[in-house]
Amino acid sequence: MDKLIVKALEVREHAVVHQTGYKVGAALETIDGKVYVGANVESPSAIIHVCAERTAIFSALSAGERKFKRIAVVAERDQPIPPCGFCRQTLLEFAPEIEVIMANLEGESKTVKLSELVTDPYLFQKN
């Protein structure tokens, strides 16, 4: 099993899921091989939630990382789960060339380029 999937599985157990009970883990690899992990965090008030993918990328960015190779996302689903729209946009802004590994608990996985998930991206441009 891919080391990123293993890391995402491990961190998934640290998810804070007050509302849904739905745990997601993510592991983000930099171009020099460092790995940053994240789990989804749900607010008890049901207003603010942060997905595992964004938790991982914000952790890496906070550590000074800027170049990313791939991210693995693991959740308990029948099919490997793709990142949500917010996560796709965040990845697009900070890691447009990233490879996305989607996996479930049964060991099934699918790997795609982010560009396959975001076909008509919004990118802010200064005038």
pLDDT in tens, 46-105: 678 999 999 999 999 999 999 999 999 999 999 999 999 999 999 999 999 999 999 999
User: Per the residue annotation, which of 42, 53, 99, 106 is the catalytic one?
Assistant: 53
Domain of 36, CATH number, reads 3.40.140.10
Q: What is the pLDDT of residues 15-56, one digit of tens each?
A: 999 888 999 999 999 999 999 999 999 988 767 899 999 999
Residue numbers of the domain that contains 49? 3-117
pLDDT at residue 62 in the model = 99
Asked if residue 26 belongs to a domain, the reply is yes
Q: What are the CA-CA distances from residue 46 to residues 19, 23, 25, 113 (Å)? A: 7, 15, 19, 32
Asked if residue 124 belongs to a domain, the reply is no
Asked if residue 66 belongs to a domain, the reply is yes
Asked if residue 8 belongs to a domain, the reply is yes
Asked if residue 127 belongs to a domain, the reply is no
User: How many structural domains comprise the chain?
Assistant: 1
Q: Between β-strands 99-104 and 35-39, what pairing exists: parallel, antiparallel or unpaired?
A: unpaired
Phi, psi (rounded to 5 degrees) for 3: -60, -30
pLDDT at residue 120 in the model = 81
Which tokens go with 57? 């990328």
Would you call 53 a catalytic residue per the annotation? Answer: yes
